[in-house]
Structure 1
Amino acid sequence: MTGFRQGSTIVDFTVQTTQINADEIVNANQNLSNSLKDIAPVIGSASAVFSENSNNPSTAKCNDSQYGTGLEGDKKIVTCDQGQEGSKTVICQESTWKLQDNCILTTIKRLINVSQNLTEEKVPNFVMNLSQTVRENKTEIVKSPLTISTIVTILNNIANVSHTVNATVMQDVLNTVDVIIGDGATQSWAVLNANDALNTISKLLGSMETLSDRLVGEFSNSAQRILLNRTMFNNSFYADLNSSIIIDIPNTGITNTFITTITFSTLNNVMPVRNSTFNATNKGTAINAAVVLVKINATIKNVTLSYNKVNKSLTLNPQCVFWNFTLLQNLGAWDDRGCKFVSDINNTVTCRCNHLTSFSLLMATDIPPSLTEALDIITYVGVGISLASLVICLIIEGYVWKAVTRNSTAFMRHVSIVNTALSLLIADICFIIAAAIANNPLENQGKDLTLPVGPCSTATFFMHFFYLALFFWMLVSGLLLFYRTVMVFSHMSKSTMLATGFSLGYGCPLIIAAITVAVTAPGHGYIRKTDGCWLNWSDTKALLALVIPALTIVLINMLIVIVVLFKMLRRGVGDITQRDERHTLVVVARCVIILTPLFGLTWSLGVGTMVSSTDKGIHIAFAFFNSLQGFFILVFGTLSDSKIRSVLSRRLPRPTTGSNPTRSTSGGLSASSGMNLINRLFRKRSVHRVSPPANSGSSGASESLVSS
């Protein structure tokens, strides 16, 4: 159920709704049945409980001809009208008798008892009887909240047992709903919407969607306040619904499927205006258009809807929204994710809806709807830059490999940086695949659009595994620095280093990812149910299987940096190790010192999105820094190494030059001047020099750990 909010107005519409789970319907029916059993019919004259002087008109706070006099807080319990069961309670509040109506029509109570054992073959006669009963008693029904709630439960029971619905049955359903959403029912719906336990409006919308999904054939039905159309969808769709809503679905490539639209001209009068941030009636907000439910068994990414305003005096800040059944702990509320306002011209508001996936879903438990599109742009631009940077990083590492891996420390340092880049590259590719899967959800047995469990779980597993591998290879770099700086007299062969590195870098992530699947998958709690393919948070807290290892590694690396800096500054790094080893240690130290806090910052911001899900600044910062991790690895892990820059500057071909050796024939910067620019970028003033250069051909001997 979707729509738009307009300053003090919500204009609502439905593009894609989520069916209420059948088990939830059964439970709700049972709860309502239990509550009805607890209401004992009151037979006899009215009874009252008054304070001592309540019958004295001079001291009474409430006084009218129907309920008499009473003091503030006094209650009277009166019998229901003829043909009803239950009781009415009036309470003296603010000098007025306030009515609490717990009466239900006897005929409706009989029908709900029958509906609990209803079979599909009995549905046509039962629905006809329900429709006739509701129309005959509409005056009493619209004034009774409990009766309306009971009728909604009956409709849910009907939807639950009906596997096919023909035009006759649907017409009787429309006639029934037409009565309970009439103008006279507004006050009763206000009472129902304030009662979270009943959840009546979501149950009504869910039952209508289920019934519309099970319609057979093409037809058009209508009631006084409802218009239903079911037709074949071939590639595109355009319709003017009841001269109040225009729906336009452009070329989709989808054919041979049915599309059903149900337009409710007065549902705006009975629906609550709550959204994801409040669960009470917002007096500054109103639903300002007819409500339309659109059902199609396909994924539509581009839908344009135009609405005629009901109240033309409301002109400020239209906001496109839809009814999200899962908000407010499945109570249901208005949501604007994936929908945006287009225009407000001549009292016609136009909205467009699609589905976007944000990188922020990796850690955020909830994303502010107004940020969705901005986060998508930041994410995909950042991931594009990151992917290109990682490919460049791997190409450079392959190009200079033999020249820069002449000792065991340098060899293991480059193994770590290559696997760090490779892990992030694969993780980002898996993220793009997961986003594509999330943008094409599947129809869940004719009920609601959900994420495909198989492909989504696979993409989530590999994302989880390779993001963990990224951090564990950073841990390998930190441990290498610790080993070569602190344990200077020990020796470890290359084969032992490689075995240790790959065991940590890929073995530990595999164990963690596999255990996460084993623990959460049997209970269907491994991945999110909506909003993108990623580890579940709301049900099983599976996301902690990434958060805890990542932040633990960041903490360990920071401790390693502190210990290493203390050791190096205390004794001087040049006392024991050889010059080439010293250079490698400086580069490893710089990489760990820069990337560890940087990556720690990005994922700490991710924790911030979990703790403070409505903070827009945290979401933007997390999406920005996290999507650019590949760029940071290229700059600080590869290009910051002066030996790599030296090898590249020596091996890159120099263009033919004329009198000016720094200018190429095309008028741009030459390859050598480009490398000079990179060298200048990373040239630092030494705070603690390692040692003077041994010869002019060596590079990086004066690199500093701390630079300005």
Structure 2
Amino acid sequence: MSPDLQNILNTVDVIIADDARESWVVLNANETLNASSKLLGSLETLSSDLVGEFTIVTQRILLKRTMFNNSFMADLNSSIVINIPDTNMSNVFITTVILSTPNNFMPARNSSFDANLFNATSNETVNDNTINAAVVLVRINETIQNVSLKYNKLNSSLRLNPQCVFWNFTLFDQLGAWDDEGCVIILTPLFGLTWSLGVATMVSSTNKGVHIAFAFFNSLQGFFILVFGTLFDSKIRSILSRRLPTPSTGSNPTTSTSGGVSSFSGINLINRLRGRRYMYRVSQAANSSSSGASESFVHI
């Protein structure tokens, strides 16, 4: 590990500290500036030139580069869990960079932001959105179709409309914004809500409203298990397709999937839905030779 890399991350650590937040407000207070985007882009560029396996930790940054065979799972700084299942590849290098205070230096606008609201005084944020998790940069030297990410929320009191997004550097004439293309959120709050209502039925046994809500959400939970855990499971669909009678024309039955997001195991989905964290599925991590080789993801 180069001492220069450690020094760079130490400097960035100071730049994204709480004390620097007001300075970032000033830097982001003009629609022609993209200082936040440039900082994030510089870290992505830096991650492309690393070799070997090592870990660097500062107060607000975790950089980790490691090699894996077939599958990969890691709990990164107890704030983000990354899971890459069954790639059938060996000697794959993955580089991750976690920034734990993105709300200090990144604007919260997304791709649906009305560009007409930009003015000469501020492009800093969108009032309805807030960045509520760490940002993670993931760079892989192979093409990986599915990557799952679990996030711990920075502010547990914020519960409405979580989004799975990555930073798109090209939006708004290279100013940048959060984009959700290729990223799907898994509704973990449904299970937590059902468990909470189940406890409430024991605590408040005479409250009809709680019992009705528990029955409704419990039924909805069963529906999700049936659909995603059984009917969408590739092995079950394969068995059913073999048992279906062939058409009279003699043509063989065929199945097709859209790949990426839709091609995943229902049992794995159920296990992930039981987690306490918000989890997102990313459809593809690009090859490092392409322009989109690394992505930075966050839960807004």
Normalised TM-score (structure 2):
0.62
How far off is 1:443 after superposition?
3.4
| Secondary structure of 1:220 counterpart | strand
Contact 2:144–2:286 (CA under 8 A) maintained in structure 1: no
1:633-648 to 2 correspondence within 5 Å?
A: none
Partner of 2:16 in structure 1? 181
Query: Aligned partners of 1:441, 1:267: CA distance in 2, in Å?
Result: 23
Partner of 2:244 in structure 1? none
How far off is 1:254 after superposition?
2.5
Q: Is residue 129 of structure 2 the alignment partner of residue 285 of structure 1?
A: yes
Query: Aligned partners of 1:206, 1:223: CA distance in 2, in Å?
Result: 19
Q: Is residue 7 of structure 2 the alignment partner of residue 172 of structure 1?
A: yes
1:424-503 to 2 correspondence within 5 Å?
A: 442-444=287-289, 448-449=292-293
Contact 1:167–1:221 (CA under 8 A) maintained in structure 2: no
80, 88, 97: which is aligned to 1:262? 97
Partner of 2:154 in structure 1? 310
Partner of 1:104 in structure 2? none
Partner deviation per Cα, 1:106-126 (whole Å, 9 max, x = no partner): xxxxxxxxxxxxxxxxxxxxx
Partner deviation per Cα, 1:10-35 (whole Å, 9 max, x = no partner): xxxxxxxxxxxxxxxxxxxxxxxxxx
274, 279, 282: which is aligned to 1:350? 279
Partner deviation per Cα, 1:416-473 (whole Å, 9 max, x = no partner): xxxxxxxxxxxxxxxxxxxxxxxx965337x5449xxxxxxxxxxxxxxxxxxxxxxx
| Secondary structure of 2:74 counterpart | strand
Contact 1:325–1:333 (CA under 8 A) maintained in structure 2: yes
Letter matched to residue 34 of structure 2: N
Contact 2:102–2:131 (CA under 8 A) maintained in structure 1: no
Letter matched to residue 81 of structure 2: I
Unmatched segments (≥5 aa) in structure 1: 1-165, 356-439, 451-708
Contact 2:82–2:150 (CA under 8 A) maintained in structure 1: yes
Partner deviation per Cα, 1:473-513 (whole Å, 9 max, x = no partner): xxxxxxxxxxxxxxxxxxxxxxxxxxxxxxxxxxxxxxxxx
Query: Aligned partners of 1:181, 1:354: CA distance in 2, in Å?
Result: 29
Query: Aligned partners of 1:225, 1:273: CA distance in 2, in Å?
Result: 19
| Secondary structure of 2:173 counterpart | helix
Query: Aligned partners of 2:15, 2:36: CA distance in 1, in Å?
Result: 11
Query: Aligned partners of 1:236, 1:173: CA distance in 2, in Å?
Result: 31
Contact 2:139–2:288 (CA under 8 A) maintained in structure 1: no
Letter matched to residue 235 of structure 1: N
C-alpha spacing 1:212/1:449, structure 2 compared with 1 (3 Å): closer
68, 83, 86: which is aligned to 1:251? 86
| Secondary structure of 2:65 counterpart | strand
The percent identity for this pair of structures is: 58
Contact 1:320–1:351 (CA under 8 A) maintained in structure 2: yes
Query: Aligned partners of 1:298, 1:329: CA distance in 2, in Å?
Result: 30
Query: Aligned partners of 1:303, 1:218: CA distance in 2, in Å?
Result: 21
Query: Aligned partners of 1:242, 1:230: CA distance in 2, in Å?
Result: 14
Contact 1:181–1:267 (CA under 8 A) maintained in structure 2: yes
1:616-627 to 2 correspondence within 5 Å?
A: none
Partner deviation per Cα, 1:96-153 (whole Å, 9 max, x = no partner): xxxxxxxxxxxxxxxxxxxxxxxxxxxxxxxxxxxxxxxxxxxxxxxxxxxxxxxxxx
Contact 2:140–2:293 (CA under 8 A) maintained in structure 1: no
Partner deviation per Cα, 1:399-418 (whole Å, 9 max, x = no partner): xxxxxxxxxxxxxxxxxxxx
How far off is 1:230 after superposition?
0.7
C-alpha spacing 1:239/1:442, structure 2 compared with 1 (3 Å): closer
Larger radius of gyration: 1
Query: Aligned partners of 1:442, 1:293: CA distance in 2, in Å?
Result: 14
Normalised TM-score (structure 1):
0.27
Q: CA RMSD in A?
A: 2.0
Letter matched to residue 135 of structure 2: V
Unmatched segments (≥5 aa) in structure 2: 116-122, 193-275, 295-300
Query: Aligned partners of 1:201, 1:316: CA distance in 2, in Å?
Result: 26
More contact order relative to length (CA 8 Å, sep ≥ 6): 2
